[in-house]
């Protein structure tokens, strides 16, 4: 049984080795905790195929297709996007974007893959295959947003995943027209600037995720790996920060996910 307050973990990586042989148990544990499903996110074109294969094995799992900026130096087969994206279990493109926090792959390599990927998504959009787009943006809002603005991809179909920046970056994101998605970082004591930024978005422009296996939320910060069932703690923290009843916040986040991803 699911109800309107049941969340989806909108961003996790269940193809990573931490979850090998444990995906069914992970999804059952999520459902027990009021998390009715998860989206497993692609990091490369070969991983996109693995994500789809996994999603097809589990009723409560969906996937994305795309190349993560930190995987820009891996072999890339763009035909995987159309192939994986044509399946109803694939509900988004990404994660794609720019990452200036890590020095490798080089920013040049990341830019080359980003431009090629956005072109491919525009080509697929022109063929009638369009999806919401999950962005990975670390220390690169000033570079990424103008690149996105220059495309024909609709702004309200972008989400900046794992938002850990400050109010200035949040204002730029909201002005652009995208959604913001929060992880366990929002629960960390040292994340004051991100907590302040979380006060800014209209309630219908926010989502929550775990980014599992990384970034376990408080009060489970030392638990490894992070897992979809723990996304409730991100939602509850957002409710606290915004002064909203936890169940009302979950219902809002579930409705946002349904509107954005169609699940």
Report the b/e string of 222-241 with b at 16+ CB within 10 A: eeebbbbbbbbbbbbbbbeb
* CA 234/CA 74 separation, integer angstroms: 32
Return d(Cα 232, Cα 14) in angstroms, integer.
18
The minimum distance between CB 152 and Zn ion, in angstroms, equals: 25
Q: How far is the CB of 43 from Zn ion (least distance, A)?
A: 7
Shortest distance (Å) from residue 159 CB to Zn ion: 12
Of 99 and 211, which CB lies nearer to Zn ion in the complex structure? 211
Q: Which two tokens stand for residue 31?
A: 């459902």
Instruction: Name, in order, each residue with C-beta under 8 angstroms of 42's C-beta and a sequence gap of 6 or more.
Output: 48, 51, 63, 64, 65, 66, 67, 68, 84, 94, 95
| 5 vs 163 by CB, closer to Zn ion | 163
Of 141 and 160, the one with the shorter C-beta distance to Zn ion is 160
Cβ closer to Zn ion: 41 or 91? Answer: 41
Q: Catalog residues that contact Zn ion under the rule CB under 5 A.
A: 41, 211
Q: Smallest gap, in angstroms, from Cβ of residue 209 to Zn ion?
A: 8
């Amino acid at each position: 049984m699911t109800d309107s307050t049941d969340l989806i973990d909108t961003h996790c990586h269940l193809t990573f080795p931490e979850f090998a042989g444990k995906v069914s148990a992970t999804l059952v544990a999520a459902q027990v905790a009021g998390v009715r499903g998860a989206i497993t996110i692609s990091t490369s074109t070969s991983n996109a195929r693995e994500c789809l294969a996994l999603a097809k094995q589990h009723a409560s799992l969906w996937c994305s297709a795309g190349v993560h900026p930190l995987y820009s130096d891996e072999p890339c087969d763009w035909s995987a996007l159309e192939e994986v994206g044509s399946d109803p279990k694939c509900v988004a493109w990404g994660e794609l974007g720019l990452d200036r926090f890590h020095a490798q792959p080089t920013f040049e390599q990341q830019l080359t893959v980003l431009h090629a990927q956005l072109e491919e998504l525009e080509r697929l959009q022109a063929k009638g295959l369009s999806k919401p787009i999950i962005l990975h943006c670390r220390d690169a809002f000033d570079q990424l947003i103008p690149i996105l603005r220059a495309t024909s991809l609709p702004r309200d179909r972008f989400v900046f995943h794992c938002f850990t920046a400050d109010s200035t970056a949040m204002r730029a994101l909201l002005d652009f027209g995208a959604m913001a998605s929060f992880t366990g970082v929002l629960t960390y004591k040292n994340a004051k600037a991100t907590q302040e930024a979380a006060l800014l978005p209209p309630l219908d422009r926010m989502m929550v995720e775990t980014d599992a296996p990384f970034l376990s939320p408080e009060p489970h910060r030392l638990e490894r790996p992070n897992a979809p069932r723990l996304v409730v703690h991100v939602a509850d923290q957002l409710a606290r920060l915004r002064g909203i009843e936890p169940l009302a916040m979950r219902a809002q986040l579930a409705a946002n996910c349904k509107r954005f991803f169609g699940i």
